Amino acid sequence: MTAHPCYELRGLSVVAYPDEARLLEEIFTGGAVTPGLMIAMNAEKIVAAETDPALRHSIEQAEFRYADGISVVLAVRRKHAVRLVRITGADLWRSLMARAVIEGAGVFLLGGLPEVAAEVERKLRHEWNVHVVGSRHGYFADGDRAEVMREIRDSGAAIVTVALGSPKQEIFMHECRRMHPALYIGVGGTFDVVSGTVRRAPAALRRCGLEWCYRILSQPSRLFRAGRLIRFAVYHVRNRL
């Protein structure tokens, strides 16, 4: 159980970590990596969990549920009258990799197109000095899931970063931990940014919490996902969070 307060939104709780540094300290207790699931809580994921039992169960079983979306921060402020610190998943992942270098923790990379996965592995190995113990792109058939999980287990990774997109990554991480206890973090489209395939939103937009808007404008394929954001906004306005 976390020592930090938790705040409920639509039946799911978000942990109120004081800041990113404190979260990392909990993960690297005594220099060892604490096994568990790290899930970035945002509006889209909370709404999707209402109709996806597997996603909801994965979230409920996660040890580290941090507020990634500005909409979640604002919703907690309205419903519970507290100021929640936002911890962005992309920045947290970079900090986690930097700490993994210090601690010598083995990292497994899963996700992205083959060329994206290869470039992320190259950067982490040769530019960031991360101890990458395995890597695999995210375009594998459902029939290969068990093989992928065995590959992760055999790598002995202490940290497994999964960029399969939600809800696929959350469900995969929850299932894989049964075979190989480790720290799992879902990183969404972070691999695309790190590889240079996609540009991240300008810092000014990130500070204002508008990174989601930039993503939709720069990647119109994401537009279909805006419906969940609208539904969350309706919950907010009608005080049904």
Is residue 204 within 8 A of residue 178, CB to CB? The reply is no
- Condensed to tens digits (0 to 9), the pLDDT of residues 29-61 reads 887 999 999 999 999 999 999 999 999 999 999
pLDDT band at 3 (very low <50, low <70, confident <90, very high): confident
Nearest alpha-carbon partner for 182 in 110, 128, 78: 110
pLDDT band at 5 (very low <50, low <70, confident <90, very high): very high
For the chain, the average pLDDT equals: 91
Residue 7: pLDDT over 60: yes
Sheet holding 107-111, edge to edge: 64-67, 36-41, 183-186, 159-163, 107-111, 132-136
> DSSP 3-state assignment of 65?
strand
pLDDT computed for residue 197 by the predictor: 84
96-105, 192-201, 207-216 — most confident range = 96-105
pLDDT computed for residue 198 by the predictor: 79
pLDDT computed for residue 61 by the predictor: 97
Torsion angle, CA of 167/172/177/183, rounded to 10 degrees?
-60
Domain covering 12-24+36-237 in this structure, CATH number: 3.40.50.2300
Average pLDDT, integer, range 108-134: 97
Task: Please report the sign of the dihedral spanned by the C-alpha atoms of residue 159, residue 164, residue 165, residue 168.
Answer: negative
Amino acid (1-letter code) at residue 237: V
pLDDT computed for residue 210 by the predictor: 60
Top pLDDT among 89 and 220 is at 89
pLDDT computed for residue 226 by the predictor: 76
Cut 0.85: pTM above it: yes
Cα gap 102→96, rounded to integer Å: 10
> DSSP 3-state assignment of 46?
helix
Percent of the chain surpassing pLDDT 70: 88
Residue 217: pLDDT over 60: no
pLDDT computed for residue 108 by the predictor: 98
Terminal Cα-to-Cα distance of the chain (whole angstroms): 24
Residue 130: pLDDT over 80: yes
Query: What is the H or E stretch that residue 172 is in?
Result: helix 168-179
pLDDT band at 199 (very low <50, low <70, confident <90, very high): confident
Domain parsing of the chain, residue ranges: 12-24+36-237
> DSSP 3-state assignment of 189?
coil
Cα gap 55→23, rounded to integer Å: 23
- Condensed to tens digits (0 to 9), the pLDDT of residues 8-25 reads 999 999 999 999 999 999
Rg over CA atoms, the chain: 17
pLDDT band at 208 (very low <50, low <70, confident <90, very high): low
Nearest alpha-carbon partner for 191 in 129, 122, 101: 122
